[in-house]
Amino acid sequence: MPADVTVTALYAPASRPELLPKALNSGADVVLVDLEDAVLAGRKDFARTTALALLDELPDEPAVQIRVNHPRGEYGTRDLAALGEHPALSQGRIGLRIPKVTTPEDVDVALDILGVDDMESAPPMHCLLESAAGVENASVIARHPAVVGLALGEADLAAELSLEGEEAYTWIRSRIVVAAAGAGLPAPVMAVYTDLDDLAGLAKSCARGKALGMFGRSALHPKQLPTIKAAFAPTDDEVRRAREVVTAAAGGEADGTGALALPDGRFIDAPIIESARRTLQLAERLT
């Protein structure tokens, strides 16, 4: 598992500058500096100024993404125009989180406002799919050359589709997992869990998402981070099985089918071996 894989991502509203240092020191893998939903209309300009000031003194760690407003709106246009002039963007030191993406053209609009004229200089674009149209277009959005990740905006989806309960998201989550994998992108990070005091519910929800192929989760408060980290860490049994696979791979050679036989009769092939190696790397990182 790469060292930069995202397990925890913490939102911090840029309209509250006193929270940004706390977020940066929270232990989250990524800090999501929010200019959108967490910021009232009357505070948008102030939030943008605060975010730009943060970029002037950007730490090496953790990673930082800026969630801008929608690129087709007034505030998003201002956000992107300002960020396009900041050296942190051209240096590749930040990622952008684009909300309410419905088509790849939304990404193109954002890149045009940023002043990006070729994909090689495009910043990493993380697309939030928050509507039925966005979910339906997940595969084509994922294949846009500037897009490096997909995520769901489940609150907006719940409102649009009248979804209730955790199980209602099963098909939608699976859809973007497949879309991301088909485009060669990392597994999607789960959306926020809005009940800050229900850590047991958060853990259960993370387990559901992990079982569907999602990995990692965004958080609204630092107290959610340990629960998320524990939920996505490999279990003792997963680590044991991974060691068995890696040991067998190191000590034997694949047969003509490209598979290895374990002592208990199970057959493993190259993808299983690579997955086992990633499991051990992740376990080492999170323990």
Q: Annotated binding site for Mg(2+), which residues?
A: 130, 156
Residue 20 near residue 36 (C-beta atoms within 8 A):
no
- Measured between its terminal Cα atoms, the distance across the chain in Å is 14
Residues forming the annotated binding site? 67, 130, 156
Phi-psi region of 55 (alpha: psi -120 to 50; beta: other; left: phi over 0): alpha
Helix H or strand E encompassing 275: helix 270-286
Residue matched to tokens 């387990």: 207
Backbone phi and psi for residue 139, each to the nearest 5 degrees, phi listed first: -65, -45
Q: Which residues pair with 151 in a beta bridge?
A: 128, 189
Q: Is 66 helix (H, G, I), strand (E, B) or coil?
A: strand
CA proximity to 33, closest of 92, 87, 97? 97
Residues forming the annotated binding site for substrate? 67, 130
- DSSP character string of 161-183: HT--SGGGGHHHHHHHHHHHHHT
Report the alpha-carbon distance of residue 111 to residue 27 in Å, rounded.
31
Measure Cα distances from 215 to 68, 184, 209, 284 in Å: 23, 15, 7, 17
